[in-house]
Structures are given as structure tokens and as C-alpha cells.
Structure 1
Amino acid sequence: MDREDRDVNGSLAAKEAKHRKDDSRGKPSPPRPTPARQRQKTPQKQAPEEGSKGVEESASPELTSWIKLNAKDLKIRLTDRRWAAEVVNDFQDNLLKFLRGNSDQPFFQSADFLNSGSYFEKVKIRSPDEFDMMLKLQAPSRLIMTELDGGLFYRINLARPSRKPIKAFTLENGYTLSSRQILSEMHRLVRKFLKTYQVPDEGFRWEVNRKQLHSPAVTLSLCRNEMCSAELISVDVVPALEVPSSQGWPLALRNGPDVDNWLGKKVRQEIKSSACFFVPKRLKGRNLSEEAKESWRISFSHVEKKLIRNHGNKKTCCESNATKCCRKQCFMLLKSLIEGLKQRFPKELDHLCSYHGKTAFLHTLSIRFDDSMWACLQLPACFLHLLGDLESHARTGLLPHFFVPNCNLFSPALFPRRELAFLVSALEEQRREGLPLLRHPAPVPPLRLRSPSGDTSPEISTDKPSSVTTVHSLDTTFKNKLVLLIAGAVVCVLLSVSLDGVNELGEKG
């Protein structure tokens, strides 16, 4: 686990700041990006100023106040983060020890963790209930990467047959690396580890979720030991091949992301020279060949983490004694709005995910690159501009992947046209009505937990409210009152029925 990502005893912020210079060594984890399925012409990048302008003009003093208030509420409390980090750190440390000491699968003995995703980018909202961790697996120094679909999916072959432990995960030809075999082995090893591992707090347990056909992760849920307990924390463990920087990125991506005006050519060169990672994700579609079923998707989570955490045009932006900006707050507000839309329209916006918001955010950062454009006092206007950019991308049906511009995340193959039209209407409605989903976010009932040390911990809330979660959050007193109230109502109904019967008999008499 990277030292910069640790938060034991509540020191995450301090340790991350201390080791921020090590970010360039980071590794990708699954932010669950939508896979691109269709090669298209490289779209010409332009600022969607028209949509943004209309949104900014509609900002009223009341809406401005609501945006500022909501931005404060989205930040995770330090005490909540501390409890979750202790539990996750203990799981991660012990899993790593298990893998390194596990003799029946030597390929995983040299593995190491890299954390990424919204929590470690410091843009996680409301509750620390989701963690992404990439398990880095060393690949041979020479691989043959064959593009399968638009620049995101690849078939990976060894340049020559190997006698190293990785040979156990090749197909019969001795060259093609099997993504399915590596992911299945990861599942087996995690299940074996959990047979002997105990959560520091005895009142909780880790459970392995069912395999998902197109998921590159082994997903675990932290639950109470009670029957039918709700999920408190979700962790994605993603095995990933780390291709050495000496080999470089695939040819289609070697120009790197467009950050010259924003972060400079030097940073762009550093990104292009960093290691490349592939996660075992299967292509979507029918009638796939056996080799296509063994596809790998290139991951940019480590680079996204670097860009979001070191986001300033001036290299000192948001450092301890430097000027602060509102970039992250804007992104967190956009994530909150997308989450609200998903909860309100689960079927109509099934394909919408936070990665669409992250992609629009990165494009906006590369266009509005100067730090002065993101002053903290301009938070409402900056957020409305970002929202207008996402709306413009949806209206034109064009959202190029930030690192693979040939892949349009709003293409018909990835985002159905009917659903895209619904998204445009939903965003227009939110703007027209003054962002009601931000004014009245879905309530998240708190869950009282105990810390691993046995002390009473501050409440930790979950981003995924459900009926089960709500029931578990009700205290005993409230339940008793509710039962008495219902019983009283039933008695009243029965008495009313009896009186009606007596009256009818009296009338007949």
C-alpha cells in the first residue's frame, strides 16, 4: 500500500500531503469507466461555451447560497474517514502478507497495492464507503499489445514463451495472457484469505460478492455479523498487469492527454513516460471469439489521480500556504447531481455513471486551465459552467475519452440515443428548476459503528440508502412506539366494526 494513501489513526491528510511527490509512481484502479465500443474519427475538442453561458446567467442569489451550502455538506468528516481507513488498511495489509507468503501461486508473491479512485483523489462525497485498490502484477519486459476496440481494449501476448510463474496464465498457444484465469485466481486467493482473516472489530465481517461478467474486480462488502446486514463499506480489489515504462503506452495513445496549456508539456511527457496498466475486463458483445473473451482494458486511474490531486496551472495551487481553488468542489457537486439523477431515474439513466462526469470535468480543466478561473469565491459560477459543459456534451452526443479521443463515451454503442435525450432533458430540468436534487438530496441515515480499537466511533453514513439500511438505523425506542401506534390503529378499526354490527342488529330489532 502506498504510504501516501494511509490513514491510520486519523492521519490520512497529513501523510498524503507529505508524500504527494510520489504520485507519479501511482497505479490505476477501477473507477469503472464505461468501455468504448466503436472507433470513430478523433473529435475536435472545443469549449462548450454556449450551454455554459446560459446556465451561468440563471444563477440567482438563492441558488448561489444553496450551491455553497451543499458543497460543504459533501465533504467527508475526518472521524468517519478514520474509522473506515483503519478497517480497510488492516484488510489490505493482511491480504498483501497472505499473497506474499502464499506458495501455491508464486505469480502473486511479488504483488503490491496502489490505491486510486475518488477516495484517494479526495473527491469522494458524503461517506467513505467505497475503496478501490489495484493489485499490481509485474509483467515481462516485452509484450505484444493488439488493439481490439477503439484503443481501450487489447489482446496481450508474450513476445516469447516464458518459464516464469506468469506462464500458468497463458492459453494453450503459450503466448496469450488469459484475463479470465488471472481474475478467477484472484477470486480464489481472496476467498482463501478470508477463511483465516478476522476483522479487527469482531462485530463485522467481509463478504465476497458474486462475480460480474464484465467487472475487472473482486468486490467485497463489509457487513455486520447480523443476518441480512446492510453493506457498510465496499472494496474493489483489481488485479492489473504493470507494463514497464520502458515499453511505453500502446501506439494509439502515445501522444498522451491534452494538458499542454493546463499543466505544461513537461507534465505531459511525464505522463507518457509512466508505467502502463491493464485490468482483466471482458469486451461486451455477442459471438466473441475465445481470444476476444480474454481481453484486457487499459486503465488510467493512476494518471487521473495525479491530474486531480495536482490540478493547478500554477504548481502551488491548493498547497498548504498557497491560494485555494474550487475545482474539486465543483467535481464533487457534479458527482452528487449525477448520483441524484441515477437514484431518481434508475431505468431511464441506466448507462450514466460518475465517469462521464469525471471525463467532462477533465476536458473542462484542460480548457479553463488558468487558476484564476477557479477562485473559491466563484464556486457557484464555476460549477454551473461545468454543468453546462456536461449538458453540451450530452446534447451533441460527443464526449471523447480524455486519454483515448477516438472513443466517444456518448456514442450510440455505449449510450443509447433515447437515454441520451432523456439525460439532456433531465439536466435542462435541473437547471430550469434551480437544481432541486442539490437542494433536497436523498437523506442518508447514519449508522452507529464501533472502531477497531473497541471504542465508540463517530457515525458513518452510507452513500447508498436503502430500506434495509433505514430499518437497521432505527433505534429500539422508535420501533416500540411504531408497533404500539399500529396496534392502537388496529384496535380502533375492530371496535368501529363491532359498533357498526351492534347498530345494525338494533335497527333490525
Structure 2
Amino acid sequence: KERQTTVWLPTFSSDRQKNCAEKATAMRGLSIDDTLGKLLMATIDKLKIKKSERSNASSCVNNITAKVVTHLKQNVNWCKDIERLRTGSYYENVKICEPDEFDVMRSIPVDVALKRHPNKHALHRFLNEDKTIQASEMLSEFRDAVKEAVKKKPRCPAVTLEVKMEENGKTISIDFVLGLKVHRASWPDFTKDGFKIETWLGKKEKANMKHRPFYLVSKYEGKGHAEHDGVVAKGILHGHSKTCCEDVGYKCCQKECLKLLKYLLQQLKEDDSKSRKMSKFCSYHAKTTLLHAQLAICFQQLLEDFVQHLRKCHLPNFFIPSHNLLRQASPSSCDFLANEIEFQLNNNFLIFS
């Protein structure tokens, strides 16, 4: 499969989210009856991860990550300055059910343009004549290095590692992702029509974000590889006590909405009769819908927005609007998922019972 370069945008927090729940209520709020509300809250409680399980899993991941990073810095010349970027559902606090999957992103600082000169940068040998990066060769070497670092560990195929924890015998998956950290005056031109947060977080916050680094990630677009959860800037999602609408007395539930939609997709995927139609959908579609909606209080509205995108077979990346996240899903698959969601909406979410 061809590899494509995707922009991985930085994490951030904002001090301009006050009153957003009140505004969202006035603009978009929909009432939820007591029975349905209780069901959704009970489902949220069911999705919570036990602290002991989270602690054991994160300890295992941190130990393996430290070993991999040490090996990379000592044995791979162009990885000597490799850094860790804390992103993904674990760090966004939107992981559900079990701490069984972790994304570990490793980034390498680079200039805006790499020069074809051996003294300029360790990545020069991966540079094409047209100054583009040979992503496949770079990732192949990165994958071999990660595999070498954990070769004594069982169940460790290439970059996505499956590790059995000693404490409880459960298997967790660790996905190592390589990115290039780029500093420049602003984000790439193809993001100029995206990231619409002016009326949400304010023009000043958007301007501040545009001056922070962005990350280029080369990854598979084929079957079995989904859009990466960490692409969404975790600070956009509510939940920080100092930056959220909770300051004015409203309990923001954006993260709860996202967890419920992730769980709904997960339950549909686990149904053998529906899994084939569901193969092209992932939690990043849920996150992108949430960002476009800019809602704070309503799971039903989130689902209705998602259904609209599915009916059109078009869900633009929040940061790169020219990139349609549903381009690989067939119209029949999109209609199938839209029908399934509408069925759950009209039947008080039987799938959660």
C-alpha cells in the first residue's frame, strides 16, 4: 500500500472556554428523558477503567518504551534526538473498557526543508531529489530498530507490539509511531481552511496554536490501519478544571459523548454479522465529528451530526478539510452504519443494555 503523510497537530489547552456549555445549551441543546439519561450514565460508569488496571498497563508500557528509546538513541544515528509526544486516547482520558491499547509517538525535530548534505541532518539519506522524504525506507529502518530492541520479548511483531503482562496475564498492544517535528512560522497551507475555532476558543488562541510545531506522520492507508486517535489535539476536548465550562457550574460532557460513540462503534464491530461493514470506521471519525459539532452537552446531537456525514459519505478532517476521512468507506457501508445508529437512537440504545 502507498504511504501518505498526515499532519499530527500539537496538544494544547485554552483559557477561553468559559460559558461554552451555556451557549451550546441555547444553540443546540436537546432534552434527554430520565430513562435514557440513566441508561447513558450507567453505560459511562461501565466504561470506566479501574485505577489498578490502568497503573499496571501504563507501567508495562513505560518500561518497554524506555528500553526502545534507549536502543534507538544508541544504535540508530538519526534517532539520537528522538522525543516523546504524549498523545492518544490514554492521555486524552477517553480510553474505554480496558487499558489494552497504547499509542507511543516518537518525534524527530527537523527544519522546514532538509538539505541534501551529510552535515546538515541525520535524515539526509532519506531525502529524494525533489526534497521529499522516503517515508517507506525510514519507517522500515525504524521498525527494524524497534523489533531489535524488544527481540527477547514474546509476541512482538514489528512496530505494533503485543505484550502479555505478568500481573494479570492480559495482553496489551503498543503501537510505536514515528513523526517529524517541524517548527515554522505557521502550519502548512493545506490546513488554512480547517481548524475553525474562532467562535469557540477565540482568534487569539488559534493564532497561538498556529505558531506551535506540527508533526508529520507517514502511515498506512490500507486495510487494518485506521486514522490515528492522537491526531486530535487533546486540549480541544473539555475536561480540564481550569479551562472548561465547569468553571461556571455546568458539567461538560464532551468526553462522555465521545466515549459513548466509541463504545457504540466497538459494539457494532464485535457483532460478527456487522463487522465486515464496520471495518472502515474507527474512533477518529467520532472525534472529528465531535470537533466539527463544537457541542458540549448532547450525545444525541453528536450522533445526528455523525449520521449526516455518513449519508453524504463525507467527513472532512477538522484540520485539513480537503482530506475526506470517509473516502475509503463505500456508500453502502456508510448507509449501513447510519441506519444502525438511527436504529439505536430510536430504540433507546438497546446495544448499551
Q: Same fold (TM over 0.5)?
A: yes
2: CA distance, partners of 1:301 / 1:283: 16
1:61 Cα offset (Å): 3.2
Matching residue within 263, 266, 269 for 1:336: 263
Question: Where in structure 1 do 4 or more consecutive aligned residues deviate above 6 Å?
Answer: none
What is the CA deviation profile of residues 7-50 of structure 1, one whole-angstrom value per residue up to 9, with x for unaligned ones?
Answer: xxxxxxxxxxxxxxx9549xxxxxxxxxxxxxxxxxxxxx9xxx
Aligned partner of 1:250 in structure 2 is: 188
| Greater relative contact order structure (CA < 8 Å, 6+ sep) | 2
What pairs with 1:46-195 in structure 2 (closer than 5 Å)? 59-102=32-75, 105-139=76-110, 141-143=111-113, 158-163=114-119, 164-171=121-128, 173=129, 175-195=131-151
What pairs with 1:27-426 in structure 2 (closer than 5 Å)? 59-102=32-75, 105-139=76-110, 141-143=111-113, 158-163=114-119, 164-171=121-128, 173=129, 175-195=131-151, 205-209=153-157, 218-223=159-164, 232-246=171-185, 248-254=186-192, 256-282=194-220, 301=230, 304-308=233-237, 315-318=243-246, 324-344=251-271, 345-365=274-294, 368=295, 374=297, 382-410=298-326, 413-426=327-340
What is the CA deviation profile of residues 297-321 of structure 1, one whole-angstrom value per residue up to 9, with x for unaligned ones?
Answer: x989365222125679x834457x9
1:188–1:337 Cα change, 3 Å: same
1:243–1:195 Cα change, 3 Å: same
- Unpaired stretches in structure 1, ≥5 consecutive residues: 1-21, 26-46, 144-157, 197-204, 211-217, 286-297, 375-381, 440-509
Give the total of aligned pairs. Answer: 325
The alignment's TM-score, normalised by the length of structure 1, stands at 0.58
1: CA distance, partners of 2:52 / 2:229: 30
Q: What is the alpha-carbon root mean square deviation over aligned residues?
A: 3.2
1:111 Cα offset (Å): 0.5
Letter of the structure 1 residue corresponding to residue 47 of structure 2:
L
1:252–1:166 Cα change, 3 Å: same
Letter of the structure 2 residue corresponding to residue 223 of structure 1:
K
2: CA distance, partners of 1:437 / 1:86: 33
State the secondary structure of the residue aligned to 2:266. Answer: helix
Preserved CA contact (<8 Å) 1:142 1:159: no
1:395 Cα offset (Å): 2.4
Preserved CA contact (<8 Å) 2:193 2:321: no
1:128 Cα offset (Å): 0.8
Aligned partner of 1:442 in structure 2 is: none
Preserved CA contact (<8 Å) 2:311 2:335: yes
Preserved CA contact (<8 Å) 2:194 2:318: no
1: CA distance, partners of 2:230 / 2:214: 10
1:131–1:322 Cα change, 3 Å: farther
1:302–1:270 Cα change, 3 Å: farther
